[in-house]
């Protein structure tokens, strides 16, 4: 019996798996306990950095009333958030590859 149509999520996951396969990324390699702990620590550090940055952003917004200055603060916060998330993702990927990537 055929399954129903696939959701957009399922289609996207299939495309990502295909891209990973072409790039030589293996999802079959199980993580060691040490890798899992290192990944958890990388996520904790990133969460702490994001929380700190959010507090600073919120404080800055409370003190700033000019629309142009608020826009600058929002853009800086967006850039910082993306950088922190990117750093976290790179660290996790390096851990998954065994520290060689």
Residue of 60, 59, 53 whose CA lies nearest to 78 = 53
Would you state the pLDDT for residue 101? 46
Q: What is the DSSP string of 47-78?
A: HHHHHHHHHHHHHHHHH---HHHHHHHHHHHH
- The tens digit of pLDDT for each residue in 8-59 reads 888 877 887 777 676 666 665 788 999 999 999 999 999 999 999 999 999 9
Geometric angle at alpha carbon 93, from 76 and 79, rounded to 5°: 5
Write out the two tokens for 92. 């996790």
Q: Is 29 helix (H, G, I), strand (E, B) or coil?
A: coil
Would you state the pLDDT for residue 99? 64
Looking at residues 57-81, what average pLDDT do you find? 97
Looking at residues 70-88, what average pLDDT do you find? 97
C-alpha to C-alpha distance for 25 and 88, rounded to whole angstroms = 19
Q: Is the pTM of this model over 0.85?
A: no
Count CA within 13 A, CB hemisphere, residue 42: 19
């Amino acid at each position: 019996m055929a399954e129903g149509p696939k959701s957009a999520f399922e289609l996207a996951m299939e495309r990502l798996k295909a891209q990973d396969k072409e790039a030589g990324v293996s999802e079959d390699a199980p993580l060691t306990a040490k890798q899992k702990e290192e990944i958890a620590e990388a996520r904790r550090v990133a969460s702490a950095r994001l929380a700190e940055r959010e507090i600073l952003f919120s404080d800055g917004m409370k003190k700033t009333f000019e629309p142009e200055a608020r826009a600058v603060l929002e853009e800086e916060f967006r850039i910082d958030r993306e950088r922190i998330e990117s750093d976290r993702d790179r660290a996790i990927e390096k851990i998954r590859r065994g520290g060689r990537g």
